[in-house]
């Protein structure tokens, strides 16, 4: 009788082994020995073309890290949300159309990666109960809305939202006290909230290709910002407050419609790289020569025949100085002109 009970209790293990054999998952990824499998704290099954996960995986409650990336998964079984010790969950590069409603049961989760599934349209409410979540990447999907409950994720450090269908962001998103990286590129936002300066720990900000016409002056209050991308927008100017970004090292403003910057305009003197190509700029602000730490400046323009960049002799001398002192890479349009 005891043997029969043992066999019954082990049925779920046999389900896992049969599933693994069906997809020819290597024993390095998933051992076929009960003792070895139950001891595992990490399970990484990737690039195997599996299109479903055995629900019995949800019984491996010792798991702290689970990778099911680069497969053909269409759905995640609810049973996976019984893995209450899970700390890391990677589900990216699949064909998922939804996330389990009970994902909030994974109360210890700190990293959740579901990028490049392309068809996920909504996020379950319980996701916002993951109070220990530090890294959340759901780029390259079809998400159209973020709940204001995102403000509950007070431990969030990296939030990667690019390449979705977002038209607005909730104000609560700008109250995340530990956030140091935010990527909202390639959405349909068109504007950035002036509450962005509430993200006092932000170091990396990517806001490419969202139809942006203006940048709120409050961006200048992000004093920890190190890296800023605002490429492929409709900007015609930059706020003067940019000069206050005392820790900014990398600035990308490529492919915009900026024709002119006031002579009093100042870039942060901390800049290492300034990428300003494919705009309509005809002259550089006088104060640009204060950038003594530059290692790369890119002012090339695909529309060279339409826009001649005029550079003063002083600015030209400054560029020559940068080339010598910093081995700076200086990229200018072919038809720039030095003026006296």
For 26-45, what is each residue's pLDDT tens digit?
999 999 999 999 999 999 99
pLDDT of residue 305: 58
Model confidence at 113, pLDDT cuts 50, 70, 90, reads very high
Is residue 105 within 8 A of residue 82, CB to CB? The reply is yes
How far is the CA of 221 from the CAs of 37, 179, 189, 201, in angstroms?
A: 51, 15, 21, 11
Six-digit token string for 324: 């010598």
CATH topology agreement for domains 23-189 and 233-340: yes
Per-domain boundaries in the chain: 23-189, 233-340
What's the whole-number mean pLDDT along residues 42-66?
96
Topology of the domain comprising 233-340: 3.80.10
- CATH of segment(s) 23-189: 3.80.10.10
Residue 303 clears pLDDT 70, i.e. is over it:
no
Q: Are 203 and 226 a contacting pair, CB within 8 Å?
A: yes
Q: Is the pLDDT of residue 7 over 60?
A: no
Tell me the C-alpha distance between 104 and 116, whole Å: 21
Of all residues in the chain, the percent with pLDDT exceeding 90 is: 89
Residue with tokens 């599934």: 117
Half-sphere exposure of 216 (CA within 13 A, CB side): 14
pLDDT score of 306: 67
H or E element, residue 67: strand 65-67
Question: If you average pLDDT over residues 50-60, what whole number do you get?
Answer: 97
Phi-psi region of 87 (alpha: psi -120 to 50; beta: other; left: phi over 0): alpha
Give the residue carrying structure tokens 């068809």. Answer: 119
State the pLDDT confidence band at 308, using cuts at 50, 70 and 90.
confident
- pLDDT at site 5: 41
pTM score > 0.85 for this model?
A: yes
């Amino acid at each position: 009788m005891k043997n029969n009970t043992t066999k019954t209790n082990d049925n779920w293990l046999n389900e896992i082994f049969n599933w693994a054999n069906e997809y020819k998952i290597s024993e390095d990824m998933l051992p076929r020995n009960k003792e070895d499998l139950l001891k595992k704290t990490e399970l990484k099954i990737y690039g195997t073309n599996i299109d479903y996960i055995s629900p019995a995986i949800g019984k491996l409650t010792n798991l702290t890290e689970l990778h099911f990336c680069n497969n053909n998964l269409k759905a995640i079984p609810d049973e996976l949300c019984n893995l209450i010790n899970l700390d890391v969950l990677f589900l990216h590069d699949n064909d998922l159309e939804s996330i389990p409603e009970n994902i909030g049961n994974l109360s210890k989760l700190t990293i959740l990666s579901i990028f490049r599934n392309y068809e996920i349209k909504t996020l379950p409410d319980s996701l916002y109960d993951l109070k220990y979540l530090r890294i959340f990447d759901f780029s390259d999907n079809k998400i159209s809305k973020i709940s204001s409950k995102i403000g509950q994720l007070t431990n969030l450090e990296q939030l990667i939202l690019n390449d979705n269908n977002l038209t607005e962001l909730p104000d609560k998103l700008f109250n995340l006290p530990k956030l140091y990286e935010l990527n909202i590129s390639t959405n349909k936002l068109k504007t950035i909230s002036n509450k962005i300066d509430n993200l006092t720990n932000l170091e990396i900000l990517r806001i490419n290709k969202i139809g942006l016409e203006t940048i709120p002056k409050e961006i200048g209050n992000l004093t920890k910002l190190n890296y800023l991308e605002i490429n492929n927008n409709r900007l015609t100017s930059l706020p003067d407050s940019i000069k206050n970004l005392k820790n900014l090292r990398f600035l990308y403003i490529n492919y915009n419609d900026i024709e002119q910057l006031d002579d009093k305009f100042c870039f942060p003197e901390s800049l290492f790289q300034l990428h300003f190509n494919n705009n309509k700029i005809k002259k550089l602000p006088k104060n640009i020569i204060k950038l003594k730490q530059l290692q790369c400046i890119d002012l090339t323009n695909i529309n060279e025949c339409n826009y001649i960049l005029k550079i003063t002799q002083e600015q030209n001398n400054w560029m020559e100085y940068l080339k010598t002192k910093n081995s700076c890479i200086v990229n200018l349009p072919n038809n720039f002109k030095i003026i006296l």
